[in-house]
Structure 1
Amino acid sequence: MGRRIDYYDDPNAPKANSLVPSVNVVVENDKGEILMIRRTDNDNWALPGGAIDLGESITQAAIRETKEETGIDVEITGLVGIYSDPKHLIHYTSNDEVRQEFSILLKGSYVGGEPTPSDESNEVSWVCPESFFELKLDRSMRLRLEDFLAKRERVVIK
């Protein structure tokens, strides 16, 4: 399996060769805990999510990716933000793809299911917000969590 390497404003980073719309979902349970995964490709903790496939909507991709990576069924309830910072590059070593960030962060609520690891997640856990920043997180994921926790009235566009 290849690795995922995130770069931010790094002059030594490889040049972007793709732009792929993707989604992340911040799912809260009734205790206010957030659904997180520990990724298999870089061992970082992250919100569930992934690329939007041809033929599916943003909402469909968010529901599918969350289920695939976590075993949890969700309902999409809102939009937190859109992240398209060209300084953030994601290198997938398995095929040498280097993506420029383009991610839509949605809010979701727990519908059912049990946290279950997958090929893309070593661990799946409900995490209390106070514990987020003790986890190994990429800068981009930390930013998304901070934006969600700020409970802004307007959508974040970065």
Structure 2
Amino acid sequence: MKQFPTHIVAVFGIAENEKEEILLLKHRGRNIWMFPGGQVEVGENLIDALIRETKEESGMEIDVVKLFSVSSNTCSYQGYNGYDIVPTKVVMGFICRYIGGEFCDSDETTESLWVSKDKVLDLIVVPDFIDKFKGYLDFTGGIEYLEYITKPEYNLKLKCLI
């Protein structure tokens, strides 16, 4: 019997406040700065997933404004927490607007920071986050598509506008 391919669908948001600063969250386990986001759950749409993930990770509320990025992490690798294999990930990036709320830590985050756009690249160190943020900075209306692998090391395989 044939089997459908398996992909993880995920979302992330570049959330801006009224001063055009960007929301960064510090990941609890990896001690790195990141953008809010995560996996889309079964039966959940992309926008609701990003609103939920941001609320869970930061306690803050956002409006999802515009899609600016689609990417594929096409590597698969050994799983963890009882999962056999981590499959290809398809990740959509959205520009978001901060609505309100104060930061509260979570199982995934320890702190938040509002950063001017020109300082974000000084703080994020994960290569795909860097490439995605550069796509946000360069956004003029076309959707950027990235294909990359993260293991055994980061390799950007394709970057284009679609």
TM-score bracket relative to the smaller structure: 0.7 to 0.9
Match among 34, 39, 46 for residue 46 of structure 1? 34
Report 1 or 2 for greater relative contact order, CA contacts < 8 Å, sequence distance ≥ 6: 1
Match among 113, 133, 152 for residue 121 of structure 2? 133
Q: Secondary structure at the match of 1:141?
A: helix
The equivalent of 2:82 in structure 1 is 95
Identity of paired residues, percent? Answer: 26
Larger radius of gyration, structure 1 or 2?
Answer: 2
Taking structure 2 as the reference length, the TM-score comes to: 0.79
Q: Secondary structure at the match of 1:144?
A: helix
Taking structure 1 as the reference length, the TM-score comes to: 0.80
Aligned alpha-carbon RMSD (Å): 2.0
The equivalent of 2:8 in structure 1 is 20
1:112 matches 2:100: yes
Alpha-carbon separation, structure 2, partners of 1:70 and 1:91: 29
Q: How many residues align?
A: 141
The equivalent of 2:47 in structure 1 is 59
The 3 A distance-change label for structure 1 pair 91 and 127 is: farther
Q: Which runs of 5+ in 1 are unaligned?
A: 1-16
| Alpha-carbon shift at residue 91 of structure 1 (Å) | 6.2
Alpha-carbon separation, structure 2, partners of 1:70 and 1:78: 21
The 3 A distance-change label for structure 1 pair 153 and 128 is: same
